[in-house]
Structure 1
């Protein structure tokens, strides 16, 4: 992973959860990581925890102009952007409902973050990633994108589609675009939100009968942004212990 040293990564939703774990992992590889989050105070705490290779930035991924200005500022200060991880998303159990139950206002807001956020951040970062060796984007989808009838799953299905679309669109710029679809990963949020019965049900769908851990997602992310994945683009990799397998 020495090829990641002295490079620049932007991680949306970087204050906590997967974003925080990604920040630690990439900073440990010698990258400069910018943790973008609505909660600037939390992002600053995470950046301080990670150390001198991390910094926090306030940002709402559903604000197109704000993302344009942010990516431009980062590129101006550091000479470009090498890695973009589109991690920010609305993903609470509260959002995992049918659209009619969730309501149009909350569905719209979730789509603005989960779908339009990916679009805005990708297009804003593109000019500053183009032509940089090893440039890579990783989107965060979900196992809910496979067969889910809920609003959240629909938004993550769209992320899978955007991953393919942007892989084609940005390929000429030398930018690879892939996605991860986590299964049941026992983060603090999941433990707090899901009942033991629900977790047991999902775990019963897995082939690998152990709990999913943040490190499983981190390891997959590190591979996708590494030279080892230089021939991989447009793919969504499920990290779910074999749940939701399809032929």
Structure 2
């Protein structure tokens, strides 16, 4: 009888990069990873906010300013993180921007389109490429890309965001196939209606109406609920899950009416 290898359900001591970690799902993920014993690189465009989250995460976390739309900044920051922590085991591509813009908004639409793809699709590819030399040295390398249920469907007036997030689901599958032979897993989470800065402007009354009409659980989700699914995917024991696109949406995709 073949004895199964010991697959740990702990990320203690693992080095994790989380982009867009100053708020929302990124902050919740960084904090949860730190609680589980990981050493966390908290990256965000806002360094002050990143430093606050790093303090919340404890002594084994460090903050880095990172504009994920800047190719050179990605290369330098990832290399610096690997130097500071002595390697990289986990990459969570979470950074995002709100990109709602009607199709007929002229030059403004073009600007929103390019920004959406730069931050939420091209940046994820660049982060993976920059981290890959270090991930290849890990015995349990994990990549999680954050997309959205907008990558599984569409809302009117939101084509830049929909295109970017749909691209993330395809990127995830492609990377999973390319990196699978090396044992590096790549998975994607598609959050639905979550209470984050992006949805903060939506009145609570409207949130309640939408959630009751569209989700099976009849409520908005919390960032921590997404973070726990991310944690599950980065465990060393999650060694046979790759190329998966997982909605964390309270049953929004599953519900027909």
Structure 2: segments with no counterpart, 5+ residues: 1-7
Corresponding residue for residue 237 of structure 1:
246
Q: State which of 96, 102, 110 in structure 2 corresponds to 1:104.
A: 110
1:219 matched to which residue of 2? 228
1:68 aligns with 2:75: yes
Report the equivalent of 1:169: 178
Unaligned runs of 5+ in 1: none
Contact 1:96 1:153 in 2 (8 A): no
Instruction: Using the TM superposition, give the Cα deviation of residue 188 of structure 1 relative to its aligned residue in structure 2, in angstroms.
Output: 4.9
* Paired residues of 2:15 and 2:89 also in contact (CA < 8 A): yes
C-alpha deviation, 1:172, in angstroms: 2.7
Preserved CA contact (<8 Å) 2:11 2:37: yes
Label 1:214 to 1:207 Cα distance change in 2 as closer, same or farther (>3 A): same
**TM-score, normalization: structure 1?**
0.91
- CA distance change for structure 1 residues 16 and 198 in 2, over 3 Å: closer, same or farther? closer
The equivalent of 2:96 in structure 1 is 89
TM-superposed deviation, 1:218: 1.3
Q: In 1, distance between residues paired with 2:114 and 2:79?
A: 27
- What SS is found at the alignment partner of 2:43? strand
Give the 5 Å matches for 1:114-153: 114-148=120-154, 150=158, 151-153=160-162
Q: Is the 8 A contact 1:62 1:120 kept in 2?
A: no
Distance in 2 between residues matched to 1:205 and 1:246, nearest whole Å: 7
Q: Which residue of 1 aligns with 2:163?
A: 154
Aligned to 2:34: 27
Structure-2 separation of matches of 1:122 and 1:185: 25
- Find out whether 1:12 has 2:19 as its counterpart: yes
- Pairing partner for 1:53 from 60, 65, 84: 60
Residues 54-91 of structure 1 deviation map (CA, whole Å, 9 limit, x = unaligned): 11001111111211121112212322100000000113
Change (3 A) 1:199 1:97: farther
State how far apart, in whole Å, the 1-side matches of 2:79 and 2:200 are: 37
Alpha carbons of 1:48 and 1:163: their partners in 2 closer, same or farther (altered >3 Å)?
A: same
Q: Taking structure 2 as the reference length, what is the TM-score of the superposition?
A: 0.88
Task: Kindly report the root-mean-square deviation, in angstroms, between the aligned alpha carbons of the 2 structures.
Answer: 2.0
Counterpart check, 1:186 vs 2:190: no
SS of residue in 1 equivalent to 2:133: helix
